[in-house]
Amino acid sequence: MIVDRAALENIFVALHTEYTNAFGAAPTSWARVGMKIPSTGSLNDYKWLSKFPRMKKWAGEKTLKQLEGFRYVIENDDFEATVEVDRNDIEDDQLGIYSLQARDAGFSAAQLPDEIVFALVASAFVTPCFDGKPFFASDHPLFDEKRKLSFSNKFDLKLSALSQAKSKASLGEAAMRMRLFTDYEQRPLNVIPDTLLVGPALLDVANTLYVNDRLDDGKANLYKGLYKPEVSPWIRDESWSLLDTSKPIKPFIYQERKAPAFVQQIDPTAESVFMRKKFRFGAEARAAGGYGFPQLAFGSTGTQDPA
């Protein structure tokens, strides 16, 4: 094959098609627990998360909510997946392997939001959210100048389907605490958990709690059909979390500056071609992740047996 610009353009159009098809077919699940926030610069500031927006009775002048004096900044990162195409492979019409690599690049690009969001979940017991505390913490402050209030969205109990008592002590306790969450004026937030997020180690337990009529002790399963399981391979231990994903604001943030896009370098006169006879293609993106309201999630390290 003669390697001129016309031939290169035809080859890379075909590779782009392979990339696009794989991108569209790749399974993703991040949107079940996270929300996409567009970004128009190098970073976004989420200081507005300091106030959970609530309607209240309007009597006299409107009550103005002042944002707290801190910043929760999420800076965008660059991501890439690059493949080099040897000119000899083009001349010898040996391009099959590059079609596979184009598909793999498309698949990986589509799953970038999953990787970002579920990596946040896996580190949520140590990585700070907007209030400076880890997303799952026992002492989140409720910002109020008059009263020093706080709330906890964390404990250490194992998720259990062994008995009704153990499931009530773990899953039931987490759900109850979430439903009792209030704002800084101590008004209920109407948090309604609907998703049970686990790693592969707890998938069978989560499915048992979701679909079985009875638990291992033969007693009724009080949680059948309540909390849909979501499994993430990024969770490598027996930690688990209960989420409310029904609100417009989700527990986790996928911030997108530039959506994953196919890129290519096919100039026959480029230095990489002249010096190393290499053309390039792949995917590029700019994005980041962060945490939403901690009141929408309750996490357990899964390190202690429930009573």
For 296, counting Cβ atoms within 10 Å of its Cβ (0-12 exposed, 13-18 middle, 19+ buried), the class is buried
Q: What share of the chain has pLDDT > 90, as a percent?
A: 72
* pLDDT tens per residue, range 110-152: 999 999 999 999 999 999 999 899 999 999 988 655 557 899 9
Q: Does residue 67 have a pLDDT over 50?
A: no
Q: Are strands 297-304 and 278-291 parallel, antiparallel or unpaired?
A: unpaired
Tell me what the mean pLDDT of segment 27-51 comes to.
Answer: 92
User: How many Cα neighbours within 13 Å face the side chain of 50?
Assistant: 17
Task: Determine the pLDDT at residue 147.
Answer: 58
Integer CA distances (angstroms), 134 to 35, 69, 169, 187, 299, in order: 19, 19, 23, 24, 11
**Angle value at C-alpha 262, between 260 and 263, nearest 5 degrees:** 120
- The Cα–Cα gap between 104 and 111 comes to 11
Asked if 202 and 159 count as a contact pair (C-beta separation under 8 A), the reply is yes
Highest mean pLDDT among 11-25, 183-197, 272-286: 11-25
Task: Determine the pLDDT at residue 77.
Answer: 97
Residue type at position 272: S
Q: Does residue 61 have a pLDDT over 60?
A: no
pLDDT confidence bin for 59, thresholds 50/70/90: low
Q: What share of the chain has pLDDT > 70, as a percent?
A: 91
Q: Does residue 28 have a pLDDT over 70?
A: yes
Residue spans per domain, the chain: 5-49+72-191+248-304
Q: Does residue 53 have a pLDDT over 80?
A: no
Alpha helices in the chain (DSSP H): 5-25, 87-91, 96-110, 112-122, 164-167, 173-179, 203-211, 271-276
Highest mean pLDDT among 9-13, 63-67, 133-137: 133-137
Asked if 141 and 149 count as a contact pair (C-beta separation under 8 A), the reply is yes
Distance of CA 110 to the CA centre of its chain: 13
Helices and strands in the chain: count of H runs, count of E runs: 8, 13
Tell me what the mean pLDDT of segment 282-292 comes to.
Answer: 97
Residues in the chain: 307
Q: Does residue 70 have a pLDDT over 70?
A: no
* pLDDT tens per residue, range 176-219: 999 999 987 788 999 999 999 999 999 999 999 999 999 999 99
